[in-house]
A and B are shown apart, each in its own frame.
Chain A
Amino acid sequence: MSRRLVALWAAPFLLVVLLFQALPVGSVLVGSIVTGGEWSLGNYASLLGSRFYRGAFSTSIYISVVTSAVGMAVGLPLALALHRRSAPVQRRFLTLFNVASNFVGVPLALAFTILAGVNGVVTLLLVRSGLVQDFNIYSLQGLMLVYAYFQVPFTVLVLFPSLGALTQDLSEQARLMGASRLTFWLKIGLPVLAPSLIGTFILLFANAMGTYATAYALIGGGANLVTIRIGELVAGDVFTDPNLANALAVLLVLVLLAPILVDQLLLRRVPRG
């Protein structure tokens, strides 16, 4: 079979990717440097000059960093614990975590409304036990709780395969050589896992930063998140400005892309040996 014919097999796929991924991204890029029909960086200037949009970025980044940290803090010990269990147990719980990390968006937001809304059973329990005066799921804290719900299982799923690098004979070898558990983790365990931990954190951050549906369904336009603002600028009821949306989208992608690129270009390319 000739190579031209083979390329034909891939042509429809390339066409769809071009039309529905590359083209829209190009359109966003180009549109972001157009203001009132003229080339300009005005969109970026007005975004960066706006307290409101700067606030959206700081809120989004804050939520993403905190929930990623929570995801790591719970997910890493959880993945390690699971790593020490037998293969059938691992399969069972990985399936559960897979389902949980896919339970996102509108259903998740509404499930939390039922569970922890104004009349939710968790809210009632917390308030009656006197642990909290008032619990509001429709707040930034509530939103972070919901994000944590998918960040923790997501951490386990991403991190789990890389734990294979940390074999049992490594820790046994270290122990035979007189290293304490702490020394093992500081000198061997964490350094070995470091690239995966960094990579996982970046994915968690992007996962939270790009979330739209969950936040929109839970709080609606009230949440000052970058994704919500973008949605509002293109499809809002009150006020739309597609070119401002373009610039906001480009800034969001830059925030997401920067750590991925730094990770891939700098950290992974370090020559080994």
Chain B
Amino acid sequence: MADAAAAAAWPDRLLIGVVSALLLLPVVAVGVSAVSTDWYSGLAPSGVTLHWFAVVLSEPEFQSALGRSLLIAAGSVALQLLISVPAVLAAHCYLPWLDRWMERLVVLPYALPQVVLVVGLLQIYAAEPLVLIGTPWILLLGYLPIAFPLLYLPLKNNLRALPVQELLDAGHLVGASDLVIARRVILPCVKPGLLVGLSMVFALAFAEFVFANMLVGGGFRTLAVYLFGQRQKVGQVTAVIIVIYFAAMWLATIVALSVLRGRKAAA
């Protein structure tokens, strides 16, 4: 097997290498542009500077947009933990009909583009009795169903590998309630999937543009909407915002994950 693999290895390596390089190209371009003094006339920038970072970071509107996006992302993670996770557990353990239904819900984002939901949400929540359009609440609540598959798939994968019914029975025999078993046994066991899912929820809520722009817009300007507004500025400014945007997303994800990990470990 290794012989055949070794003989056929170079075309595979070449293909993987070339495609990966092409995929990295825009990322590299953004990174280089962000630290360039000037990149108009030549193939390479004429100098390196951190000037653009200073410009962007000192902008108050940028700072508050960053804060708003972090808030929405953190709030979305909290809502999923409070609302979706108990539902997934209940469905997995006791409500097979809901479980089957959730499995089908997973393809929904592909059948139901966000712009379609925007049309409906605008009709319902722009007027009394419940005005949510223009407020951050429509984002927090609206993201819950569309981010749900991101949480569900890895969480469900972990749950499937776990003999949940036996764990519940064993727990009941020693007098533990479902709540205690869920918190002390089941959740710790599915933590890897849960953390992966929640970090993807965080990333989606942090970066989402369609809802943020069309349902809220100027009322609660998130980073994605702010970035869109800056698209006519010089390339270096947008590049810096993109760099910070991804850096903040990854940093926040890492921080959020380590906080969750630490708290679970301490508990």
Contact = CB atoms under 8 A, between A and B. Distances in A.
A232 B128 CA distance: 24
Contact of A234 (B23, B89, B119): B119
A68 to B, nearest CB: 12
Given A7-B95, A9-B86, A24-B124, A230 B115 contact: yes
Given A124-B43, A153-B23, A246-B119, 6 more contacts: A6-B90, A96-B20, A149-B26, A227-B113, A231-B210, A245-B119
A205 to B, nearest CB: 9
Interface stretch (A38-46, A48-56, A79-87, A187-195): A79-87
A234 B214 contact: yes
Interface of B: 1, 5, 8-9, 11-13, 15-16, 19-20, 23-27, 29-30, 33, 39-40, 42-43, 82-84, 86-87, 89-91, 93-95, 98, 105, 107-108, 110-124, 141-142, 144-146, 148, 177-178, 203, 207, 209-210, 214, 224, 227-228, 231, 235, 238-239, 242, 245-246
A21 B112 CA distance: 9
B83 A13 contact: yes
A119 interface: yes
B111 A78 contact: no
B117 A111 contact: no
A23 B26 contact: no
Closest 8 CB pairs of A and B: A24-B120, A210-B113, A13-B87, A81-B12, A206-B110, A9-B90, A115-B29, A111-B26
Contacts of B111: 206, 253, 256-257, 260
A107 B227 contact: yes
A178 B219 CA distance: 69
Given A7-B95, A217-B228, A110 B87 contact: no
A16 B116 contact: no
Contact of A110 (B43, B113, B214, B242): B242
A27 interface: yes
Given A10-B90, A84-B5, A210-B115, A110 B12 contact: no
Contacts of A209: 113
Contacts of A107: 207, 224, 227, 242, 245-246
Contact of B228 (A31, A106, A252): A106
5 contacts: A17-B105, A17-B144, A19-B141, A81-B11, A110-B227
A25 to B, nearest CB: 6
In the complex, which of the residues B26, B93, B228 has the most CB atoms of chain A within 10 Å of its own CB atom?
B26
A168 interface: yes
A74 interface: yes
A149 B25 CA distance: 10
A178 B142 CA distance: 57
